[in-house]
Amino acid sequence: MGKLAGKVAWVTGAGSGIGEAAALALGGEGAVLVLSGRRRAPLDAVAARIGEKGGTVHVQPADLMDAAAVQRVAAFIRDTLGRLDILVNNAGLNIVERDWKRLTPAGVDELVHGNLSSALYCVTAALPMMRAQNDGVLIHTASMAGRFISPMSGPVYTAAKHGVVAMSHSINMEECTNGIRSCAVCPGEVATPILDKRPTPVSAEERARMVQSADVGDLIRYIACLPPHVCINEVLITPTWNRGYVSAQQRPV
């Protein structure tokens, strides 16, 4: 029996990348899964993989930038499953035209709503169920861009992910007496489909040196399996071959 048997986990952005890896890892520990994202087909594919191994999965497609859609998923979880133990708040996005020279108001809205508003909506939907249980863990996929500032990710993505990190710490400040723990996971470069949105293409060789989705999924599994008296507030995970460090080494002193 897995460590998460009897637990319910809601994973957002579950159709690919880190969300997919987290769903597979949590399913492997016996959690009942609720998978959300904008496109049903990828969610169904992930659900099928978990189901083949005997896991229980509920697919609940939703545009997480829509507060009402988020509340509908939460209502399904409450009314059908009766509890929520784990939220993997993973949905996020970036755009190619991310620098100040090319940013538009529409791009700003997409980045803020896709990376910060959606995370906040999911937290407000999850917390009432967790408070009622006096137990729960929220794990948010932030980014190294949520802790450090560089031009790579773009200013609005960076600002939004800083907001996710601040959001997570504020949850611990208010909800620790309700048995609720929140963790901001801040990955460096991870070989996920979001790299396809980079203005400069990333080669297959470079991607192979990066942290892989399964590595972050296993970290999320570890955090979710910790005992209720333990809170990992924030964690950074980066490639050993850190391209930022390598580039700095190659610059003349």
Q: Residue 72: count other Cβ atoms within 10 Å of its Cβ.
A: 14
Do 177 and 134 form a contact (C-beta atoms < 8 A)? no
Catalytic residue among 121, 157, 222, 245: 157
The pair of three-digit structure tokens given for residue 204, joined into one six-digit string: 């297959």
| CA dihedral over 134, 128, 171, 142, signed as positive or negative | positive
Question: Which spans in 66-212 are helix H?
Answer: 67-76, 105-112, 118-133, 155-175, 204-209
Average pLDDT across each block of 10 residues of the chain; the chain has 253 residues. List them in order.
95 97 98 97 97 96 98 98 98 93 97 98 98 98 94 94 98 98 95 74 84 96 98 96 81 73
Task: Name, in order, each residue with C-beta under 8 angstroms of 180's C-beta and a sequence gap of 6 or more.
Answer: 127, 130, 131, 135, 136, 137, 138, 171, 172
Single out the residue of 21, 36, 39 nearest to residue 87, CA to CA: 36
Write the DSSP string, 178-204: GTEEEEEEEESSEESGGGGG-SS---H
Cα 153 versus chain centre, distance = 16
What pLDDT sits at residue 138?
98
Do 104 and 97 form a contact (C-beta atoms < 8 A)? yes
> Helix or strand or coil: residue 87?
strand
The pair of three-digit structure tokens given for residue 234, joined into one six-digit string: 């924030």
Sheet harboring 8-12: ordered strands across?
Answer: 57-59, 32-36, 8-12, 86-89, 136-141, 180-187, 234-237
What pLDDT sits at residue 253?
67
The CATH fold of domain 8-250? Rossmann fold (3.40.50)
d(CA 246, CA 79): 51
157 as an active site residue: the answer is: yes
End-to-end CA, the chain: 56
The pair of three-digit structure tokens given for residue 153, joined into one six-digit string: 């990710």
Cα 249 versus chain centre, distance = 31
